[in-house]
Amino acid sequence: MIKHIVMWKLKEHAEGADRATNAARMKAMLDACAGIVPGILKLEAVVAQPGLEATYDVLLYSEFADQAALDAYQHHPQHVALKPFFGAVREARQCMDYEV
């Protein structure tokens, strides 16, 4: 199994919207990717909650059956279509994949 974790820190304003609006939009876009390829075991997108410690605004925690499933997700047109918006609204991005 491959775990794929990504975190985004967002710009205060981008694409005509504030940070909170863009974070909610990102979450909805990620949630829509939950079943786009076989082998996605778990896909959970969350937005930082007020009052709880967070240095990033949006987090994706996902699990894939194997590297082939992760590769299929990464190259799926629906996932690729997220990248322009995510790139426009993000200030920073961190990612880590690891096998368990």
Helix (H, G, I), strand (E, B) or coil at 75: helix
Q: Do the Cβ atoms of 86 and 8 come closer than 8 Å?
A: yes
Residues 65 and 4: their CA atoms lie apart, in Å, by 11
**Top-level class of domain 2-99:** alpha beta
Residues 63 and 82: their CA atoms lie apart, in Å, by 19
Residue 92: pLDDT band by 50, 70, 90 thresholds? very high
| pLDDT the model gives residue 64 | 98
Q: pTM for the whole thing?
A: 0.95
Average pLDDT rounded to a whole number, residues 63-80 = 98
| pLDDT the model gives residue 42 | 98
Residue 54: pLDDT band by 50, 70, 90 thresholds? very high
Show me where the domains of the chain are located: 2-99
Residues 100 and 96: their CA atoms lie apart, in Å, by 13
Q: What percent of the chain has pLDDT over 90?
A: 99
Neighbours of 19 (CB within 10 A): 19
